[in-house]
């Protein structure tokens, strides 16, 4: 079998920009051609070809003198709707907690940033906070002996995170820190999907721009059903795998699938 040829550079840029459009990153308009040339390290003709493909698909509108703006409403495209409807899983943390803590103990972490900030709209909604309330946002990269494994961004309500900061996050898994703060972890809601590495993630995870990544969004609840942590994780699929066991339960006329995590492994 012939080796698979790499995607043309313009198509890699098109894929990354399409994903960012779906994430609502360009609500105020896309960067100009010069900014995109600098960001991706390519010639103007390459950027224009990527933008042309987006325009032909009706994802952007290019107007002389007014720049380039998205025409896909954030969160309303078919891809996003399908992901939210089919990918969500509720997971009891009996096994997940142990697996995540074990992973934390067997990898090293680099804390990129920790900041106290007003909760962004999506974070406030997920954590059931008022939009004037404070949260701790932390960004970390986990690595094995072979190199970067994952980029993790977490948001934790200020009342819970006040007891730990950058030093503690560099030393212990965040679920351990939550429990040390008095949180009794109950369950999680998790969505697993795929994303493409943009310039920033490519640098953090040592992959090419446009590489496929495993994307995890996880909302942790305490035993009283209060959200205590909102996590966005991006993993290298060549170094990470997630195993689950599915069981059918219920009466013959109303059987449903119940999932139980077996392991989250890296190599």
Q: Check residues 197 and 87 and name the one with the higher pLDDT.
A: 197
What mean pLDDT, rounded, does the chain reach? 79
Q: Rounded to whole angstroms, how far apart are CA atoms 152 and 218? A: 11
Residue 156, φ and ψ in degrees, nearest 5: -130, 135
Which pLDDT tens digit goes with each residue over 100-110?
A: 555 555 678 99
Is 96 a residue whose pLDDT tops 70? Answer: no
Task: Taking residues 209-234, report their average pLDDT.
Answer: 92
What does each C-alpha distance from 137 to 5, 98, 117, 171 come to in angstroms? 39, 23, 7, 17
Is 26 a residue whose pLDDT tops 80? Answer: yes
Is 196 a residue whose pLDDT tops 80? Answer: yes
List, in sequence order, every residue forming a beta bridge with 61; answer none if it has no partner: 69
Which pLDDT tens digit goes with each residue over 31-58?
A: 888 999 988 888 999 999 989 888 888 8
Is 262 a residue whose pLDDT tops 60? Answer: no
Q: Are 230 and 208 in contact (CB under 8 A)?
A: no
Q: Rounded to whole angstroms, how far apart are CA atoms 156 and 13? A: 33
- 3-class secondary structure, 181: coil
Is 182 a residue whose pLDDT tops 60? Answer: yes
Q: Check residues 261 and 16 and name the one with the higher pLDDT.
A: 16
Q: Rounded to whole angstroms, how far apart are CA atoms 145 and 78? A: 39
Q: Are 160 and 178 in contact (CB under 8 A)?
A: yes
Angle subtended at Cα 177 by Cα 95 and Cα 181, rounded to the nearest 5 degrees: 110
Give the model's pLDDT for residue 235: 92
Task: Taking residues 113-138, report their average pLDDT.
Answer: 94
Radius of gyration of the chain (CA): 20
Rounded to 10 degrees, the C-alpha dihedral 199/197/77/256 comes to -160
Give the model's pLDDT for residue 3: 44
Task: Taking residues 238-261, report their average pLDDT.
Answer: 62
- The band of 165, judged by pLDDT with boundaries at 50, 70 and 90, is very high
């Amino acid at each position: 079998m012939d080796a698979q040829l790499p995607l043309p550079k313009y198509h890699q840029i098109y894929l990354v920009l399409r994903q960012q459009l779906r994430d609502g990153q360009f609500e105020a308009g896309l960067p100009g051609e010069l900014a995109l040339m600098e960001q991706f390290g390519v010639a103007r003709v390459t950027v224009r070809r990527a933008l042309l493909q987006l325009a032909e698909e009706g994802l952007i509108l290019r107007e002389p003198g007014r720049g380039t703006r998205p025409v896909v409403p954030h969160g309303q495209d078919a891809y996003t709707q399908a992901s939210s409807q089919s990918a969500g899983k509720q997971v009891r943390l009996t096994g997940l907690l142990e697996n995540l803590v074990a992973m934390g103990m067997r990898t090293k972490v680099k804390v990129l940033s920790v900041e106290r900030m007003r909760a962004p709209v999506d974070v406030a909604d997920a954590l059931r906070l008022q939009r004037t309330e404070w949260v701790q946002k932390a960004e970390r990269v986990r690595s094995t002996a072979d190199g970067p494994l994952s980029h993790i961004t977490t948001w934790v309500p200020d009342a819970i995170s006040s007891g730990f900061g950058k030093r503690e996050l560099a030393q212990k898994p965040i679920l351990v820190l939550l429990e040390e703060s008095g949180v009794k972890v109950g369950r999680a809601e998790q969505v697993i999907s795929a994303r493409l590495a943009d310039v920033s993630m490519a640098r953090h995870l040592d992959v090419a721009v446009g590489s496929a990544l495993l994307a995890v969004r996880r909302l942790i609840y305490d035993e009283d059903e209060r959200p205590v942590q909102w996590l966005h994780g991006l993993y290298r699929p060549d170094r990470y795998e997630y195993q689950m066991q599915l069981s059918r339960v219920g009466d013959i006329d109303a059987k449903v699938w119940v999932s139980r995590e077996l392991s989250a492994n890296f190599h």
